[in-house]
């Protein structure tokens, strides 16, 4: 077991390297960050050329990658454009803990991520817990009572929920519960943001503002996952050992919770395990519509500005998390299913 983990971790390092190279290369498709720096009017050509030089964007791509990776404080760079390098570089590179500065805000990438990550985790972890619990409950109950009224109702609603595009659902909820409820004199929810400035950032305010985004996230995911749990459980319930257990006279509860559920949970674990690292990436559309200041917003805003350091920072963070969680998932998998041998 421990050799497996160590081996996977050792494999992870070159894998992360390769991912970083692939990502950096792919990002060249994004175009020129300087072009978007000007706001409504693009910067003048002289300024563009100077900015490019001073921000290190005039270097060839592989040099930019190396600078990002290991820094350039052992080099001199040409800041004033006269052709001779004279200023010592200041970057240490990500290998030494310097994640770089945003091209747009000039702030440290780590600080920017650190500002947004708690907001995202607050929203996404809460959503994930709700989703897991309700999906398991609904899926399990549907599987135990297949084709009953309950099952059909839940199935129908799940499908409806699952068939709605996120942006449409989010806006619909906002209009009904925030705009129209207020108009009709009913207790209403706020439209956008994390809190009301007049009241301040209290837990009550946060919860109130979280309700609509959580509902948006939950509805669509629950619809999908409960179906998955249902089909998983049903498949397991058809297995021979379950029949045997029933034939032996064990109570249904026991069979379900001791035999069926753990085995049905395996594919579910796979999916959840894959999802958790992406919680950090936030939910782009939901965060955008509800103006929730999270990682998803950070990502999409800086994608539009072609801000490489921030994008690389976010993507590498997610990559590391994914690699770690995949190892964890595989280990749990092998612990739960004794038939699987991790070679």
Of 93 and 128, which has the nearer Cβ to other proteins?
Answer: 128
Of 69 and 320, which has the nearer Cβ to other proteins?
Answer: 320
Of 62 and 175, which has the nearer Cβ to other proteins?
Answer: 175
Binding residue for other proteins (CB under 8 A) from 5, 69, 70, 134? 134
Window 88-127: residues binding other proteins (CB under 8 A) = 101, 104-107, 112, 115-116, 118-119, 121-122, 125-126
Minimum separation from the CB atom of position 85 to other proteins (A): 14
Q: How far apart are CA 319 and CA 313, in angstroms?
A: 10
291 is a contact residue toward other proteins (CB under 8 A): yes
Q: Which residue has the tokens 């897991």?
A: 132
10 is a contact residue toward other proteins (CB under 8 A): no
17 is a contact residue toward other proteins (CB under 8 A): no
**Spatial CA neighbour of 177 closest among 213, 140, 229:** 213
Binding residue for other proteins (CB under 8 A) from 73, 78, 293, 332? 293
Binding residue for other proteins (CB under 8 A) from 2, 3, 84, 253? 253
225 is a contact residue toward other proteins (CB under 8 A): no
What the block records as the tokens of 236 is 């397991």
39 is a contact residue toward other proteins (CB under 8 A): yes
Sign of CA dihedral 290, 293, 294, 298: positive
What is the C-alpha R_g of the chain? 25
Count CA within 13 A, CB hemisphere, residue 50. Answer: 6
162 is a contact residue toward other proteins (CB under 8 A): yes
141 is a contact residue toward other proteins (CB under 8 A): yes
Write the CB contacts of 165 (distance below 8 Å, at least 6 apart in sequence).
Answer: none
Provide the phi-psi class of 106: left if phi over 0, else alpha when psi is between -120 and 50, else beta: left
Using the rule CB under 8 A, give the single segment among 59-67, 68-76, 91-99, 316-324 that binds other proteins. 316-324
Using the rule CB under 8 A, give the single segment among 61-69, 70-78, 92-100, 221-229 that binds other proteins. 221-229
Q: How far apart are CA 4 and CA 312, in angstroms?
A: 29
Window 193-212: residues binding other proteins (CB under 8 A) = 193-194, 197-198, 200-201, 203, 206-207, 210
Minimum separation from the CB atom of position 171 to other proteins (A): 5
SS3 track for 243-276: HHHHHCCCCHHHHHHHHHHHHHHHHHHHHHHHHH
**Spatial CA neighbour of 106 closest among 316, 320, 305, 318:** 305
């Amino acid at each position: 077991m421990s050799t497996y983990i160590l081996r996977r971790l050792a494999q992870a390092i070159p894998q992360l390297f390769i991912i970083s190279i692939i990502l950096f290369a792919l990002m060249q498709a994004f175009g020129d960050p300087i072009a978007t720096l000007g706001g409504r009017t693009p910067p003048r050509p002289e300024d563009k050329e100077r900015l490019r030089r001073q921000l290190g964007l005039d270097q060839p791509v592989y040099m930019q990658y190396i600078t990002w990776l290991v820094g350039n404080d052992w080099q001199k760079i040409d800041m004033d454009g006269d052709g001779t390098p004279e200023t010592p570089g200041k970057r240490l590179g990500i290998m030494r803990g310097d994640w770089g500065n945003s091209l747009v805000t000039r702030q440290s990438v780590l600080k920017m991520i650190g500002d947004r990550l708690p907001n995202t985790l607050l929203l996404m972890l809460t959503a994930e817990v709700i989703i897991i619990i309700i999906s398991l409950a609904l899926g399990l109950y549907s599987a135990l009572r297949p084709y009953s009224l309950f099952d059909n109702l839940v199935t129908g609603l799940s499908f409806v929920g699952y068939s709605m595009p996120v942006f449409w659902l989010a806006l619909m909820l906002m209009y009904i519960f925030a705009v129209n409820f207020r108009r009709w004199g009913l207790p209403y929810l706020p439209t956008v943001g994390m809190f009301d400035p007049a009241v301040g950032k209290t837990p009550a305010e946060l919860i109130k503002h979280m309700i609509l985004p959580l509902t948006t996230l939950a509805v669509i995911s629950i619809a999908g996952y409960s179906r998955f749990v249902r089909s998983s459980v049903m498949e397991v319930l058809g297995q021979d050992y379950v029949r045997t257990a029933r034939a032996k006279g064990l109570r249904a509860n026991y069979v379900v919770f001791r035999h069926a559920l753990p085995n049905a949970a395996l594919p579910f674990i796979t999916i959840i395990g894959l999802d958790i690292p992406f919680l950090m990436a936030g939910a782009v559309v939901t965060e955008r519509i509800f103006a929730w200041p999270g990682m998803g917003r950070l990502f999409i805003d800086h994608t539009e500005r072609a801000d490489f350091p921030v994008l690389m920072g976010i993507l590498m963070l997610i990559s590391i998390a994914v690699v770690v969680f995949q190892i964890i998932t595989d280990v749990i998998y092998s612990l739960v299913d004794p038939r699987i041998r991790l070679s």
